[in-house]
């Protein structure tokens, strides 16, 4: 009876798998703060994409981890056609073609030696407009590599418009933009820093949002839509379900939520201690995010959860 009258249910196609690929890796590298998640080799990334596809997951969001020596102030490896993310996009595309929606993180923090999401001015502050030029180049190389959807996550003002223009001007009209619309300066990104080997000292409070603010997210939403976002995202997910619900109510584009590294780590850590029932907790968080209004959920449990809902 409960199954029959359920108001919301997860479907494998709701789920998108974020995945890390590390340049030069010959074995997958475990991420200690995210038990069960690895930095993939090119080879194991292809396998993970196939497994996700077979489980019914609809998309994969790729993050590149360059060799440490390739990081610099401008994040040059992020716009190198042979940079790790571009290589990974081509690999996954060759493996699964259009069977899985291939998405890419469009941000500089994985590639800069200072770890910020943009380039810095002479006083060490993130330079919004200089960063936009870098994002335009990134959009083009990622699209050239065959990505279906770019995910600008750097929270620079004007990023969606600049990226949309860059894509349109380079013959990539069909590449979609998933805007990180409401992205909060969150403690829950902690494990991600290890996942991408980030060099960041300090924080991102000058460009990510204050957890105290909801109205600000609605303004970011209006701007992203006006600039041409095809889909919008709220991130993190669990502490911001009210933001997600409000955005989902007020737009006519698909809405995504990103259940981030710290949300994953929190459940895994408690489960490893025997403090909570892991499988139930995972499903409860995902169902809650869907109930709040997400059409798509990025989660490190995507493949496992897709199998579980299929079996249920």
Asked if 15 and 283 count as a contact pair (C-beta separation under 8 A), the reply is: no
- Which of 70, 93, 235, 246 is catalytic? The answer is 235
Are β-strands 15-22 and 255-258 bridged in parallel, bridged antiparallel, or unpaired?
unpaired
Nearer of residues 126 and 173 to ligand PBG, judged by Cβ: 126
Q: Of the ranges 104-112, 142-150, 209-217, 221-229, which one interacts with ligand PBG (CB under 6 A)? A: 104-112
Nearer of residues 143 and 192 to ligand PBG, judged by Cβ: 192
Shortest spacing between CB 178 and ligand PBG, in angstroms: 12
Shortest spacing between CB 40 and ligand PBG, in angstroms: 15
Q: Of the ranges 20-28, 103-111, 216-224, 275-283, which one interacts with ligand PBG (CB under 6 A)? A: 103-111
How many residues of this chain interact with ligand PBG, rule: CB under 6 A?
10
**Of positions 153, 176, 209, 217, contacts ligand PBG by CB under 6 A:** 153
Instruction: Assess 268 for contact with ligand PBG (CB under 6 A).
Output: no
Residue 307 backbone phi and psi in degrees, to 5: -65, -40
Residue indicated by tokens 């991600």: 192
Q: How many CB atoms lie within 10 A of CB 223?
A: 17
Instruction: Assess 192 for contact with ligand PBG (CB under 6 A).
Output: yes
**Of positions 109, 127, 220, 268, contacts ligand PBG by CB under 6 A:** 109
Shortest spacing between CB 241 and ligand PBG, in angstroms: 17
- Separation of alpha carbons 284 and 168, rounded Å: 40
CA angle 196/285/231 to nearest 5° reads: 65
Nearer of residues 140 and 198 to ligand PBG, judged by Cβ: 198
- Which of 183, 205, 246, 290 is catalytic? The answer is 183
Q: Of the ranges 7-15, 105-113, 169-177, 277-285, which one interacts with ligand PBG (CB under 6 A)? A: 105-113
- Separation of alpha carbons 76 and 46, rounded Å: 25
Shortest spacing between CB 136 and ligand PBG, in angstroms: 17
Asked if 19 and 38 count as a contact pair (C-beta separation under 8 A), the reply is: no
**Of positions 189, 207, 240, 301, contacts ligand PBG by CB under 6 A:** 189
Instruction: Assess 20 for contact with ligand PBG (CB under 6 A).
Output: no
The pair of structure tokens assigned to 198 is 């980030």
Catalytic residue check, 183: yes
CA angle 247/249/252 to nearest 5° reads: 85
Instruction: Assess 105 for contact with ligand PBG (CB under 6 A).
Output: yes
Q: How buried is residue 44: exposed, middle or buried, by Cβ count under 10 Å (0-12/13-18/19+)?
A: middle
- Separation of alpha carbons 198 and 217, rounded Å: 26
Which residues pair with residue 296 across a beta bridge? 256
Instruction: Assess 260 for contact with ligand PBG (CB under 6 A).
Output: yes
Catalytic residue check, 246: no
Nearer of residues 209 and 252 to ligand PBG, judged by Cβ: 209
Count of residues making up the chain:
312
Shortest spacing between CB 236 and ligand PBG, in angstroms: 7
Distances (CA, A) of 31 to 37, 192, 193: 6, 9, 10
- Separation of alpha carbons 130 and 162, rounded Å: 12
> Catalytic site residues?
183, 235
Q: Which residues bind ligand PBG (CB under 6 A)?
A: 105, 107, 109, 117, 153, 189, 192, 204, 260-261
């Amino acid at each position: 009876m409960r199954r029959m009258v359920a108001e919301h249910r997860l479907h494998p196609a709701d789920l998108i798998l974020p995945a890390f690929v590390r340049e030069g890796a010959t074995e997958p590298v475990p991420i200690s703060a995210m038990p069960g998640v690895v930095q993939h080799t090119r080879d194991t990334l292809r396998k993970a994409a196939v497994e996700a596809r077979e489980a019914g997951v609809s998309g994969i969001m790729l993050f590149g981890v360059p060799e440490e020596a390739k990081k610099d102030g401008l994040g040059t490896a992020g716009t190198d056609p042979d940079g790790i993310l571009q290589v990974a996009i081509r690999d996954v595309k060759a493996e699964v073609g259009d069977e899985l929606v291939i998405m890419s993180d469009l941000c500089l923090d994985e590639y800069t030696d200072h770890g910020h999401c943009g380039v810095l001015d002479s006083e060490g502050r993130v330079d919004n407009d200089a960063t936009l030029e870098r994002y335009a180049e990134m959009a083009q190389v990622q699209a050239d590599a065959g990505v279906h959807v770019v995910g600008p996550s750097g929270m620079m003002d004007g990023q969606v418009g600049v990226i949309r223009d860059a894509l349109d001007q380079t013959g990539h009209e069909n590449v979609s933009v998933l805007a990180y619309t409401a992205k909060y300066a969150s403690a829950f990104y902690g494990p991600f820093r290890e996942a991408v080997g980030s060099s960041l000292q300090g924080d991102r409070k000058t460009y990510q949002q204050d957890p105290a603010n909801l109205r600000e997210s609605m303004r970011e939403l209006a701007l992203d839509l006006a600039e041409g976002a095809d889909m919008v995202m709220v991130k993190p997910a669990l502490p911001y379900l009210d933001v997600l619900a409000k955005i989902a109510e007020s737009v006519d584009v698909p809405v995504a939520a990103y259940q981030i590294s710290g949300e994953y780590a929190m459940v895994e850590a408690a489960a490893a201690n025997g403090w909570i029932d892991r499988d139930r907790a995972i499903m409860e968080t995902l169902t809650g995010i869907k109930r709040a209004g997400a059409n798509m959920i990025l989660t490190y449990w995507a493949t496992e959860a897709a199998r579980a809902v299929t079996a249920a």
